[in-house]
Amino acid sequence: MGCNSFCTVGYRRLFMSHFEEVKTEYTDPELVVEAIKEAFPFIESVEVASDFEYNGSTVVCRGYHGDTATHFGKNPIKIVARTNNKYDLGFALAPDGTYQLVADWGGYGYGFLANPEVKDAIAGDRLSTESQLAKQNDDYTTQQISNAMRNYPSRQQAVMGMLSRGYTMAVAKECVRIDPNLAGYAVNEIKVTIGENESGQLQAEHEIELVQSSIVGSYI
């Protein structure tokens, strides 16, 4: 795990029963666990397999009407975030060493996205995004902000965005811990700059703020 290995997330929707897989580039299982805790404080618990070998042990991911999965295709589920509505977030180990998110996202009253705490987290993220647009772009009119917010990601993409920020925070903390050049520093916060890309879609850039006593520095 290198200190510059901040994640990018790709989407590859594969169906198995009610479960879907979303491709990520996460490779460190310990950082995946920390990312879950950072992104979703409402998660009841995180269950981890006894090993991280491809042909080793697995954990159970829960889905629609009691459906369960220990694999997605041939990929073993190694990490599961338990929720209070019995729809979990699982992470399956792929042959290339990355961890792919497996979940029954659901809709219409069931699935991970129907969890009230997930809805609240997405609503809070949306308000934060809108607020940052207004703050960062003094020349934006209310109508322009409203138009930009029409490109706010889908609920599934919003959850992935929160998980991405959580993983970035976990990586940053690990970099501070192992990099001798950052001895005495601590991660203060991740500053998120919201803007629009060339296609008009909302795009977030993360800047990590480190603190040492009264000294503030940035490390990207």
Domain ranges of the chain: 14-114, 116-218
- As given in the structure block, the two tokens for residue 40 are 């979703």
Residue 107: its pLDDT value, please?
62
**Number of Cβ atoms within 10 Å of the Cβ of 107:** 12
Residue 16: its pLDDT value, please?
45
Residue 154: its pLDDT value, please?
78
- Helix/strand/coil for 119: helix
Contact yes or no for 54/29 (Cβ under 8 A): no
Residue 14: its pLDDT value, please?
41
- Angle between the N-to-C axes of helices 116-136 and 142-149, in degrees from 0 to 180, rounded to the nearest 10: 140
Residue 161: its pLDDT value, please?
81
Give the closest residue to 46 by CA, choosing from 90, 104, 99.
90
Residue 41: its pLDDT value, please?
87
Contact yes or no for 208/220 (Cβ under 8 A): yes
- As given in the structure block, the two tokens for residue 140 are 């934006």
Q: Which residue is associated with the tokens 């950082």?
A: 31
Residue 9: its pLDDT value, please?
39
List, for the chain, all residue ranges whose pLDDT scores fall below the cut of 50. 1-16, 214-215, 219
Amino acid at 12: R
How far is Cα 176 from Cα 2, in angstroms, rounded to an integer? 12
Residue 168: its pLDDT value, please?
87
- Per residue in 82-130, pLDDT (tens digit) is 988 889 999 999 999 999 999 988 765 778 888 888 888 888 888 888 8
